[in-house]
Structure 1
Amino acid sequence: MANGDLKEHLSGKRGPSILTWERRLCIAAESAQGLEYLHNGCKPQIVHRDIKTTNILLNEKFQAKLADFGLSRSFPLGTETHVSTVVAGTPGYLDPEYYRTNWLTEKSDVFSFGVVLLEIVTNQPVIDMKRERSHIGEWVGLMLSRGDINSIVDPKLQGEYDPNTIWKVVETAMTCLNPSSSRRPTMTQVVMDLKECLNMEMARNMGSRMKDSTNDTSIEVSINFTTELNPAAR
């Protein structure tokens, strides 16, 4: 894809340009929609099994596409709610319930996507043995218990975001990481949450642009007004 994968942009391997919070929300929402289609739009249902930032590709317009279906599994048509299969996936993104039981469901993808959301917010490694908590989910949970969400946000964003949308995305991500798959949201619910956050951030940015435009106009009017009233140089 023209713009590589999401991981490259978060890590800076694609150059100094920074993904804005609005762009990150857009990528998250589009990825979630792709995953929701696999779970609900495909017959039979497909579970990806390897959702991670390196498997979210970006085209020339930075639109997100899910990639690498080498580990994906389809469910037989019928009443089955899970497939018993050999565990496969990437450490850190792997659903611990699936790892423990060998029962694969669409909620295993939901867990992996929750990890991706935390990466998008924090730009932190999924596993870092130097942290107080090595897994990103446990680390974020610890930091949230201390009450300061700004400490987990990617500093590259330089405060250019609505804290309410950060909270909403983190809450969604942590729900996705629930140890019990039955208590995780569906991807349909995740898509709704992310679209709500995206709309809020777009409205915030639109308001900022309108304010800047108004200020520019005021300056221009002020300059013209002063010029017209002052006597011309002789």
Structure 2
Amino acid sequence: MDSPTLNAQLLLIVHHRNLVSLIGFCDEGEIKALVYEYMANGNLQQQLLVENTNILKWRERLNIAIDTARGNCEFSGLDYLHNGCKPPIMHRDLKPSNILLDENMDAKISDFGLSRAFGSDIDSHISTRPAGTLGYADPEFQRTGNTNKKNDVYSFGIVLFVLITGRQAIVRAGRENIHILEWVIPIIRGEDIQNVLDSKLGGEFSIDSARKVVEIAMSCILPNFAKRPDISQILTELKESLSLDMVQRHGGEHDVTESTSSLFQSVTAPFPR
């Protein structure tokens, strides 16, 4: 049995509350297909970026981000793939269309490990075959071809910026493709956080919570992948952001004294094309 089929069979036994269950697969010559559990609310791409009368509220966006990273007491969603699976599974294509939403708007990751399951590479952590989606793929991976956990962290950072802004990762402007980082980083450096937030939110968000999520996203896309946080740390920070939002909505006050301007000013992220 060839490696792609073996890897697809491996995915059949990977189960986690925030991973979409793979029910079956077909790998017959040129015909390759996957069968997943039904997710009533489609994917995040459809909910957030396609014309939709249901506008995702700030807290809903935070919960989706937390669900994408969250798991049980030992491993979070992505951390489970990285550290809880033997051999480890790198997602390699994290993006809004691969974050599915059930009837309760709980998020689950899909298509995890598929570049390895249906690709030509055998090694789980080194590959010379292109993987990922334009706009979400880590420039470090695109440059070296080496896969590691921090490639997924970069992609997660781009997903966070999409949740924050409501914008596509790549926007066509005339004959050019404009990456979301090219638009968002200059605004953040000017510490104009409110103008980064999706206008569809109508101002219904905690500015302290929003500032913290922006800070988290910025840390995920640091050019030096070794300096990017682990997904478990990101999860902790996202939960704190949710708490800040809850404090404000219950009429409390919270003074954010830690300045994030040094991080905003120091990041010079490469812009994928």
Q: Which residue of 2 aligns with 1:192?
A: 236
Matched, 1:5 2:49: no
How far does residue 200 in structure 1 lie from its aligned partner after superposition?
A: 2.0
Distance 2:243 2:177 in 1: 33
Shift of residue 180, structure 1, vs aligned partner: 1.5
Question: What is the alpha-carbon distance in structure 2 between the residues aligned to residue 200 and residue 75 of structure 1?
Answer: 44
Aligned to 1:229: none
Query: What one-letter code is carried by the residue in structure 2 that aligns with 1:5?
Result: N
Once the two structures are overlaid, the 10-residue window that deviates more, 88-97 or 195-204, is 195-204
Coordinate RMSD, CA, aligned: 2.3
Read off the aligned partner of 1:151 and give its amino acid letter: N
Distance 2:101 2:93 in 1: 17
Rounded to whole Å, the distance in 1 between the matches of 2:95 and 2:140 is 18
Q: Which structure has the highest helix share of the two?
A: 1
| 2:80 equivalent to 1:64 | no
Q: 2:66 aligns with which of 29, 32, 35?
A: 29
| Structure 1 runs, 4 residues or longer, greater than 4 Å off | 72-77
Q: Tell me the secondary structure at the aligned position of residue 63 of structure 2.
A: helix
Partner of 1:154: 198
The aligned runs of 1:158-169 (5 Å cut-off) are 158-169=202-213
Secondary structure of 1:57 counterpart: strand
CA shift for structure 1 position 129: 3.9
Is 2:116–2:122's contact at 8 Å kept on the other side of the alignment? no
Residues 57-99 of structure 1, C-alpha deviation per residue, up to 9 Å, x if partnerless?
Answer: 000000000011322479979xxxx424322110000110111
Q: How many residues align?
A: 203
Alpha-carbon distance in structure 1 between the residues aligned to 2:219 and 2:243: 21
Structure (1 or 2) with the larger CA radius of gyration: 1
SS of equivalent residue, structure 1 residue 46: coil
Partners of 2:251 and 2:103 lie apart in 1 by: 27
Partner of 2:143: 100
Letter of the structure 1 residue corresponding to residue 107 of structure 2: A
Name 1:226's counterpart in structure 2: none
Measured after TM superposition, the shift of residue 126 of structure 1 is 0.7
Counterpart amino acid of 1:28?
Answer: A
Conserved? CA contact 1:5–1:55, under 8 Å = yes
Task: Tell me the CA shift for residue 202 of structure 1.
Answer: 2.7
Instruction: State the secondary structure of the residue aligned to 2:171.
Output: coil
Letter paired with 1:158: G
* Structure-to-structure mapping, 1:39-118, within 5 angstroms: 39-69=82-112, 70-72=114-116, 82-118=125-161
Summarize the Cα distance change of 1:4–1:76 in structure 2 as closer, same or farther, 3 Å threshold. Answer: same
TM-score of the two chains, using structure 2 as the length reference: 0.69
- State the SS of the aligned residue for 2:173: coil
| TM-score between both structures, scaled by the size of structure 1 | 0.80
Q: Structure 1: any 5+ residue segments left out of the alignment?
A: 209-234
CA distance in 2, matches of 1:169, 1:43: 31
Distance in 2, matches of 1:186 and 1:11, equals 27
SS at 1:134 equivalent = strand
Q: Shift of residue 167 of structure 1?
A: 1.0
Note if contact 2:208-2:245 (Cα within 8 Å) is conserved in structure 1.
Answer: no
Give 1:152's aligned amino acid. Answer: V
Aligned residue number for residue 249 of structure 2: 205
Deviation at 1:23, TM superposition (A): 0.7
